């Protein structure tokens, strides 16, 4: 069998890309997915029909090799669905087919939603990007930075230092808060964040933010990009600034008006439990305290807790691609979207990159997204593309140059990074944008 071309890469950080075309429409009959060709005059770079077939065949080979149970690919261009395809099954235990209404745990794709919620409050004057986090969460007033030091006995105690400047809302949005996840690296600070007790019990966003505030920071704020629980803390800030729970605010201000009917922090309707995508046994493990999506919980993790569908998430992205508007309703100012999708950690800021810098060498980071700042060698991949992914393997990208967006949904944490990079390579090569050099 042939497989996705290209070497196994990093997450290219997080976001991978289907770029797209104009020749297919979605036909949903009885919950199943079919692709129907449609001729359309190209207004931007597009993917020829034979390339979609090759991409689909490659996904099917991944399924035949039992690398993934199934997946969904959705591409929109110029505001319309131009390709939608379901592959394989959504649950290896039941054998139920993958269908358009399948619900996925999207993990870190939640971060974009929480970031948008926060920026809506910035637009309304209820939050300031340079406000100290401690203005909204009192426990952050006493946070300290942990510094590993070596003593005469060769041991490495942890020294606590005061902040040189307050942690701000901007820091939470761009992952320069000094907070970490604890998944990457073996420092003493990371080990504290990796302690399972951080996720013990039935806690809410206020409780979790206070638990984070007790832990030392890995760096001084605004000195280094570190992937982190920053967006979880940001979710609590949204609650304080809005006077609502994170879900209440997002449901009222985003999910309901955008028509995101199946996006929430767990699947409350038992009748929809069979629609939840499940991975193979090797891929069934908890990430950052996130439990089974059928389990009701008080913690609404703004960084990793949402469940959603391909269509729901594409509606959200279309609003961003439109400059903050969809269906005649404005959600964000156009200039706010432009700010969020521009690099906020460029060389001029002096911000360092963590050794585990998931955006990759050709990307910076905005206020909630990786931002492409240069094309990989050998390619003309579009600058300004913004993207991220989730620990389950799902990912999205938005390409303003070609006025398109893509969503790929899958439940295969052990396979996602490889598939993301290779699928993106196939698509951009089909669009005439080249293949990255080794």
Q: What's the number of CA atoms in the CB half-sphere (13 Å) around residue 320? A: 33
What pLDDT digit, counting tens, does each position of 312-364 carry? 999 999 999 999 999 999 999 999 999 999 999 999 999 999 888 999 999 99
User: Does the pLDDT value for residue 4 go beyond 50?
Assistant: no
What pLDDT digit, counting tens, does each position of 159-197 carry? 999 999 999 999 999 999 999 998 877 788 999 999 999
User: Does the pLDDT value for residue 33 go beyond 70?
Assistant: no
pLDDT score for 151? 65
Arithmetic mean of pLDDT over the chain: 88
Q: What is the arithmetic mean of pLDDT over 144-153?
A: 80
Nearest to 4 by CA among 46, 48, 49, 60: 60
User: Does the pLDDT value for residue 27 go beyond 50?
Assistant: no
User: Does the pLDDT value for residue 81 go beyond 90?
Assistant: yes
Lowest mean pLDDT among 35-49, 201-215, 336-350: 35-49
Lowest mean pLDDT among 35-39, 113-117, 347-351, 368-372: 35-39
Q: How far is CA 136 from CA 21, 140, 157, in A?
A: 44, 9, 32
pLDDT score for 389? 96
Q: What is the arithmetic mean of pLDDT over 27-53?
A: 57
User: Does the pLDDT value for residue 92 go beyond 80?
Assistant: yes
- For residues 408 and 11, give the distance between their C-alpha atoms in angstroms, rounded to a whole number: 14
**Element of type H or E holding 325:** strand 325-326
What pLDDT digit, counting tens, does each position of 366-402 carry? 999 999 999 999 999 999 999 999 999 999 999 999 9
Nearest to 108 by CA among 192, 17, 230: 230
- For residues 209 and 207, give the distance between their C-alpha atoms in angstroms, rounded to a whole number: 6
Helices 110-123 and 230-242, axial angle in degrees (round to 10): 40
* DSSP notation for 238-292: HHHHHTS-HHHHHIIIIIHHHT-TT-BSS---GGGGGGB----GGG---BTTB--
The most confident of the ranges 22-26, 283-287, 345-349 is: 345-349
User: Does the pLDDT value for residue 63 go beyond 80?
Assistant: yes
Q: What is the arithmetic mean of pLDDT over 117-137?
A: 98
pLDDT score for 182? 85
């Amino acid at each position: 069998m042939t497989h996705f071309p290209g070497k196994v890469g990093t997450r290219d950080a997080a976001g991978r890309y289907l770029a797209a075309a104009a020749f297919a429409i979605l036909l949903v009959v009885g919950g199943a997915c079919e692709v129907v060709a449609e001729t359309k005059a190209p207004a931007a770079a597009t993917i020829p029909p034979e390339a979609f077939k090759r991409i689909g065949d490659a996904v099917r080979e991944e399924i035949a090799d039992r690398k993934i149970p199934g997946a969904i690919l959705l591409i929109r261009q110029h505001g319309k669905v131009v390709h939608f395809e379901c592959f394989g099954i959504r649950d290896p235990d039941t054998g139920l087919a993958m269908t358009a209404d399948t619900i996925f745990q999207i993990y870190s794709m939640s971060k974009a939603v929480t970031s948008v919620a926060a920026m809506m409050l910035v637009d309304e004057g209820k939050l300031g990007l340079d406000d100290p986090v401690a203005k909204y969460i009192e426990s952050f007033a006493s946070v300290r930075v942990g510094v590993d030091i070596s003593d005469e006995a060769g041991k490495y105690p942890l020294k606590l230092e005061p902040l040189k400047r307050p942690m701000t809302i901007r820091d939470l949005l761009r992952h320069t808060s000094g907070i970490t996840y604890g998944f990457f690296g073996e420092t003493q600070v990371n080990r504290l964040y990796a302690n399972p007790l951080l996720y013990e019990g039935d806690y809410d966003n206020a409780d979790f933010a206070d638990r984070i505030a007790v832990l030392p920071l890995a760096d001084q704020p605004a000195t280094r990009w570190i992937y982190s629980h920053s967006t979880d803390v940001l979710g609590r800030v949204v609650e304080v600034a809005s006077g609502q729970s994170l879900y209440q605010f997002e449901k009222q201000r985003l999910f309901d008006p955008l028509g995101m009917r199946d996006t929430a922090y767990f699947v409350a309707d038992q009748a929809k439990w069979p629609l939840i995508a499940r991975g193979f046994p090797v891929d069934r493990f908890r990430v950052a305290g996130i439990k089974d999506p059928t389990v009701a919980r008080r913690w609404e993790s703004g960084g990793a807790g949402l469940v959603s569908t391909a269509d729901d998430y594409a509606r959200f992205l279309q609003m961003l691609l439109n400059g903050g508007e969809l269906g005649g309703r404005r959600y964000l100012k156009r200039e706010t979207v432009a700010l969020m999708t521009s690099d906020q950690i460029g060389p001029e800021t002096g911000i360092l990159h963590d050794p585990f810098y998931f955006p990759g060498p050709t990307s910076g980071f905005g206020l909630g997204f990786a931002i492409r700042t240069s094309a990989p060698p050998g390619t003309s991949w579009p600058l300004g593309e913004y993207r991220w992914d989730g620990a389950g393997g799902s990912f999205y990208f938005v390409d303003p140059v070609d006025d398109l967006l893509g969503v790929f949904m899958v439940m295969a944490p052990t396979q996602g990074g490889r598939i993301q990079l290779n699928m993106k390579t196939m698509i951009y090569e089909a669009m005439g944008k080249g293949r990255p050099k080794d």
